[in-house]
Structure 1
Amino acid sequence: MTAVALTARRPYHRARNLALVALAMLPLMLALVGPLVAQHTIDTPVTAPFAAPGDGALLGGDQLGRDVLSRVLHGGTLLILSALLVAAVITLAATLLGCVAVLRPALGRVVERGADVAILLPPLLGIMLIALAWPGGGRWAVIAAAIGLGVPYAVRVVAAAASPLATAGYVEAAQARGESTTYIALREILPNLRATVLTLFGLRVVEAVYIISMAGFLQIGPQPPASDWSLMVRENAPGILLNPWAVIAPSLAIALLAITVNLVTHSLAPETTAKAVTRS
Structure 2
Amino acid sequence: MKNLSARRLRLLTVLPAMVMTLFAIFGPMLAPHPAEAPVGIPFGAPSGDAALGTDRLGRDVLSQLLYGGWGLLLIAGVIAVAVTALSCVLGAVAALRPRVGVVIERATDFAMLLPAVLGILLVLTAWPDAGTYGLIVVALLFGTPYCARVFAAAASGVAASGYVESAQASGESLTHLVFGEVIPNLRAVLAAQLGLRFVAGVYLVSTASFLQLPTVLGASNWAVMVRENAAGMLLNPWAVLAPSLAIGIVAVSVNLAVSVFGREERA
Same fold (TM over 0.5): yes
Residues 35, 73 of structure 1: 8 Å contact kept? yes
Provide the C-alpha distance between the structure 2 equivalents of 1:212 and 1:116, rounded to a whole number of angstroms.
23
Select between 94-103 and 48-57 the one with higher mean Cα deviation. Answer: 48-57
User: Once the 2 structures are TM-superposed, how far is the Cα of residue 22 of structure 1 from its aligned partner?
Assistant: 3.7
Can you list the C-alpha shifts for 1:18-46, whole angstroms capped at 9, x where unaligned? 44344431111010111101011111111
Can you list the C-alpha shifts for 1:227-279, whole angstroms capped at 9, x where unaligned? 010000000001111111110111011011111111211121122111xxxxx
TM-score normalized by the length of structure 1: 0.90
Can you list the C-alpha shifts for 1:38-71, whole angstroms capped at 9, x where unaligned? 0111111110111111122111111110111100
Q: Which runs of 5+ in 1 are unaligned?
A: 1-7, 275-280
Aligned counterpart, 1:193: 186
Aligned counterpart, 1:27: 20
Aligned counterpart, 2:199: 206
Provide the C-alpha distance between the structure 2 equivalents of 1:261 and 1:221, rounded to a whole number of angstroms.
27
Can you list the C-alpha shifts for 1:141-189, whole angstroms capped at 9, x where unaligned? 2232123211111011111111122111111111111111111111211
Q: Does 1:58 align with 2:51?
A: yes
- Of residues 176, 182, 185, the one that matches 1:183 is 176
- Of residues 74, 84, 102, the one that matches 1:81 is 74
Cα 1:217–1:261, aligned 2, differ >3 Å: closer, same or farther?
A: same
What is the RMSD computed on CA atoms of the aligned residues?
1.7
Aligned counterpart, 1:252: 245
User: Once the 2 structures are TM-superposed, how far is the Cα of residue 221 of structure 1 from its aligned partner?
Assistant: 4.1
Residues 142, 212 of structure 1: 8 Å contact kept? yes
Provide the C-alpha distance between the structure 2 equivalents of 1:202 and 1:160, rounded to a whole number of angstroms.
18
Identity %: 48
- Of residues 212, 236, 239, the one that matches 1:243 is 236
Aligned counterpart, 2:3: 10
Provide the C-alpha distance between the structure 2 equivalents of 1:93 and 1:171, rounded to a whole number of angstroms.
21
Amino acid at match of 2:173: S
Cα 1:260–1:64, aligned 2, differ >3 Å: closer, same or farther?
A: same
Provide the C-alpha distance between the structure 2 equivalents of 1:97 and 1:190, rounded to a whole number of angstroms.
11
Aligned counterpart, 1:123: 116
Residues 230, 240 of structure 2: 8 Å contact kept? yes
Residues 43, 225 of structure 1: 8 Å contact kept? no
Aligned counterpart, 1:98: 91
Provide the C-alpha distance between the structure 2 equivalents of 1:133 and 1:259, rounded to a whole number of angstroms.
33
Specify the SS of the correspondent of 2:107: helix
Residues 212, 221 of structure 1: 8 Å contact kept? no
Provide the C-alpha distance between the structure 2 equivalents of 1:223 and 1:232, rounded to a whole number of angstroms.
15
Amino acid at match of 1:158: F
Residues 223, 244 of structure 2: 8 Å contact kept? yes
Q: Which runs of 5+ in 2 are unaligned?
A: none
Cα 1:192–1:224, aligned 2, differ >3 Å: closer, same or farther?
A: closer
Aligned counterpart, 1:114: 107
User: Once the 2 structures are TM-superposed, how far is the Cα of residue 80 of structure 1 from its aligned partner?
Assistant: 0.5
User: Once the 2 structures are TM-superposed, how far is the Cα of residue 225 of structure 1 from its aligned partner?
Assistant: 6.2
Residues 137, 220 of structure 1: 8 Å contact kept? no
Question: How many pairs are equivalent?
Answer: 267
Provide the C-alpha distance between the structure 1 equivalents of 2:209 and 2:160, rounded to a whole number of angstroms.
45
Aligned counterpart, 1:277: none
Select between 121-130 and 221-230 the one with higher mean Cα deviation. Answer: 221-230
Select between 49-58 and 113-122 the one with higher mean Cα deviation. Answer: 113-122
Cα 1:235–1:224, aligned 2, differ >3 Å: closer, same or farther?
A: farther
User: Once the 2 structures are TM-superposed, how far is the Cα of residue 137 of structure 1 from its aligned partner?
Assistant: 4.4
Can you list the C-alpha shifts for 1:79-105, whole angstroms capped at 9, x where unaligned? 000110000000000000000111112
